[in-house]
Amino acid sequence: MKSRMQSEKAGTSYDAIVVGGGFHGCSTALHLAKKGLSVLVIEKNAVGRHASGVNAGGVRQLMRDVAEIPLSMAAMDRWFDLESLLGPELAQSCHFIGDVGQIGVAGDSSEMAWCEKRVNELRGLGYDFEELLSRNDIRKLLPNVSELCVGGVISRRDGHANPARTTRAFRLRAEQLGAMFEEGIGATGLQQSGNRWVVETSAGPRHAQVVVNCGGAWANEFARYAGDELPLEPVGLTLMVTARLPKFLDAVVVGIDRTLSFKQTESGTVVIGGGVPAIVDMPNETAETVADRMVESATTVLDFFPQLRNATIVRTWAGLEAVTPDLIPTIGPSEAAAGVWHAFGFSGHGFQLGPIVGSVLADLIVDGKSALSIDAFSPNRFTSGAPVFAGHSH
């Protein structure tokens, strides 16, 4: 891999181009720049405009797909050490609060049985970060929880951060390390030119040896330009926030088999989510909340925490997220186009993985190896046989 000093020319030619300025694009750019590459991030809107800037900020290992656990554990180490990656000021600006725990609350015996099975399964695999909570245990941690709650499961290291500020911090650190960002330009095609790539954009061609597709809910379009037909569904996820309330909650609370996720922020507001679907509007690149659907989420919160009955919802919003058929991300090299990499499809839980995925990709791209395996996320799990790259564009 050529170093920045060896890059052809500044302006349109780089060692690496990252398509998409979400958290994963910013983290990938940061880690590539840290290794000395010249990097350009192309963002069709504004950095952090989509899922990465509007998500619930949950930083959890709790109840993850088993395939994600090694990455998630390594990510958690990074969250606790943001300072060495970002420097003290930017690290602080992320508002990461860890060690408050994420708690899955069981509302009946079948959910409790699921928790027991899950904790045993993880123990069998050598993981002990999820612990079972009895009815009494959970009341010590959540004194205000209603009688409905019969117990649950906790991952104690977990916490939350401010998503928009975290994405911004990673972008600023990437820029400090020399990465360039172009906002308001979309990547509209990809052509091969010798051993380099020409990314066609609405502002003209940009050249690089390596291209990383961090395109979120649009990533399958860019994958298609590379000759990869990869499954992805854009979904809209809803959040709502209350007016400020006196402090009553440190942990993040999530449902086991219910639409429930909420946390109290430092300012006292309560952010409520849990996967309520919004109406997706891809042509306008947005998603609309549907009041009727949010009743279920609000009712579940009240079932567990009746004290919130008089809380005022001050705002609702929705974000567009990329979901894969097996609900784990697609991360790895393109089958069709050497030098093109994909990292997308985080399926509702990619914020926590942000600090590690970019780092692993940079290791693989620059050094050809990584201490952490991403085999489980390989794009080729969805395909049979690699198509031949021909060059594609709109």
Ligand X SMILES: Cc1cc2nc3c(=O)[nH]c(=O)nc-3n(C[C@H](O)[C@H](O)[C@H](O)COP(=O)(O)OP(=O)(O)OC[C@H]3O[C@@H](n4cnc5c(N)ncnc54)[C@H](O)[C@@H]3O)c2cc1C
Q: Using the minimum distance from each CB to ligand X, give the nearer residue, 321 or 335.
A: 321
Q: Counting contacts by CB under 6 A, is residue 351 touching ligand X? A: yes
In the complex, what is the shortest distance from the CB of residue 6 to ligand X, in angstroms, rounded to a whole number? 26
The tokens of 239 are what? 């959040």
Per CB under 6 A, contacts with ligand X among 303-322 are 319, 321
Q: Is 327 left (phi over 0), alpha (psi -120 to 50) or beta?
A: left
In the complex, what is the shortest distance from the CB of residue 249 to ligand X, in angstroms, rounded to a whole number? 15
In the complex, what is the shortest distance from the CB of residue 124 to ligand X, in angstroms, rounded to a whole number? 25
In the complex, what is the shortest distance from the CB of residue 290 to ligand X, in angstroms, rounded to a whole number? 14
User: Which span (13-21, 89-97, 98-106, 148-156) binds ligand X, by CB under 6 A?
Assistant: 13-21
The tokens of 65 are what? 């797909």
Q: Using the minimum distance from each CB to ligand X, give the nearer residue, 38 or 166.
A: 166
**Which amino acid type is present at position 33?**
A
Contact 27, 355 (CB under 8 A): yes
Which residues contact residue 377 at a Cβ distance below 8 angstroms, ignoring those fewer than 6 apart?
67, 328, 329, 330, 331, 332
Residues in the chain: 394
Q: Counting contacts by CB under 6 A, is residue 24 touching ligand X? A: yes
**Spatial separation of the C-alpha atoms in residues 385 and 5, rounded to whole Å:** 38
Q: Counting contacts by CB under 6 A, is residue 234 touching ligand X? A: no
Contact 24, 343 (CB under 8 A): yes
The tokens of 335 are what? 């089958």
Q: Counting contacts by CB under 6 A, is residue 274 touching ligand X? A: no
Q: Using the minimum distance from each CB to ligand X, give the nearer residue, 112 or 161.
A: 161
The strand pair at 340-344 and 270-273 is best described as: unpaired
Q: Counting contacts by CB under 6 A, is residue 289 touching ligand X? A: no
Q: Which of 49, 64, 156, 258 binds ligand X (CB under 6 A)?
A: 49
In the complex, what is the shortest distance from the CB of residue 133 to ligand X, in angstroms, rounded to a whole number? 21
**Spatial separation of the C-alpha atoms in residues 77 and 60, rounded to whole Å:** 12
List residues binding ligand X (CB under 6 A): 19-25, 42-45, 49-52, 54-58, 186-187, 214-218, 222, 237, 239, 273, 319, 321, 344, 346, 348-352
